[in-house]
Amino acid sequence: MKTIADFEVEWQARIPNIQTATLGMGCFWSPDARFGAMPGVIRTRVGFAGGTTHEPVYRQMGDHTETVQIDFDPSLLSFEDIIRTFWAYHTSTHRVTYRERQYMSILFYHDQQQKQTIDKVKKELELERKETIETEIQPFTAFILAEDRHQKYHLKRFKQAAGMLKTSFPSEASFMNSTLIARLNGFVKEFGTLQNIHQEIKLWNIPDSSRHILLDMMQKIRW
């Protein structure tokens, strides 16, 4: 029998032209939740990027930076919106805060169009703010996933709710890649409301039967 996770994966696969943004803005737990809450975001993952250290892990990330990778539907959310959100919510006037490169302000562009958007918005914000943005900007090369316990970290702190959600998203990968789980991870950090999530699910292109199962499950979660 198909699970909610299966229906969601099928729905995600039907979205044409999914794009990816990759960025670092300090501890990756919070941007995982912030971007996960945004309609148009399909999935988020946290990991390491930008460095040379082989096989980084949280305790030994070497010269990598804590990074969040965001898959999004450009018909609902633009890359420009993503980087405006990025620059609105962290300090970007110096690259290295503490712990060297771990918490850097960094943007990885996936194509020349993203690079142009980055350059345009950066210039605009520098004029507006009258300061120099020191965000490191580099072409995307690789992103290495962080350990499971860092994926949707904030939601996993809600043991009862996360336990219940695990019955519908049993594997770590299905939990990490779920759009619904991303929204709920945003909700627990107050980046979105349950009501917004309900409204959004009503618009998803999934069979009505699975929509009912999803909404019913959301109703039953105890926070």
Catalytic residues: 27
Is the distance from CB of 18 to CB of 72 less than 8 angstroms? yes
> What is the C-alpha radius of gyration for the chain, rounded to an integer number of angstroms?
18
**In the bound complex, what is the minimum distance in angstroms from residue 96's beta carbon to ligand MHO?**
14
The partner residues of 103 in beta bridges, in order of sequence, read none
Q: How far is the CB of 79 from ligand MHO (least distance, A)?
A: 25
Residue whose C-beta lies closest to ligand MHO? 27
Decide whether 29 or 79 has the Cβ nearer to ligand MHO: 29
**63, 36 contact by CB (below 8 A):** no
Instruction: List, edge to edge, every strand of the sheet that includes 143-145.
Output: 136-139, 105-109, 19-25, 65-72, 41-49, 143-145
Minimum CB–partner distance for residue 184 and ligand MHO (Å): 19
CA nearest neighbour of 33 among 180, 218, 187: 187
> Closest CB to ligand MHO among 98 and 223?
98
Structure tokens at 174: 């299905």
Residues forming beta bridges with residue 66, ordered by sequence position: 48
Is 31:23 a contact under the CB 8 Å cutoff?
yes
Cβ-based nearer residue to ligand MHO, 9 or 27: 27
- The 3-state DSSP class for residue 107 equals strand
What single-letter DSSP state applies at residue 89? S
Of 91 and 132, which CB lies nearer to ligand MHO in the complex structure? 91
- Neighbour tally for 199: CB within 10 Å: 11
Residue closer to ligand MHO, measured from CB, 28 or 158? 28
Q: Rule CB under 6 A: which residues touch ligand MHO? A: 27-29, 66
- Number of separate helices (H) and strands (E) present in the chain: 10, 6
Task: In angstroms, give the least distance from the CB of 65 to ligand MHO.
Answer: 10
Whole-number minimum distance, CB 46 to ligand MHO, in Å?
Answer: 8
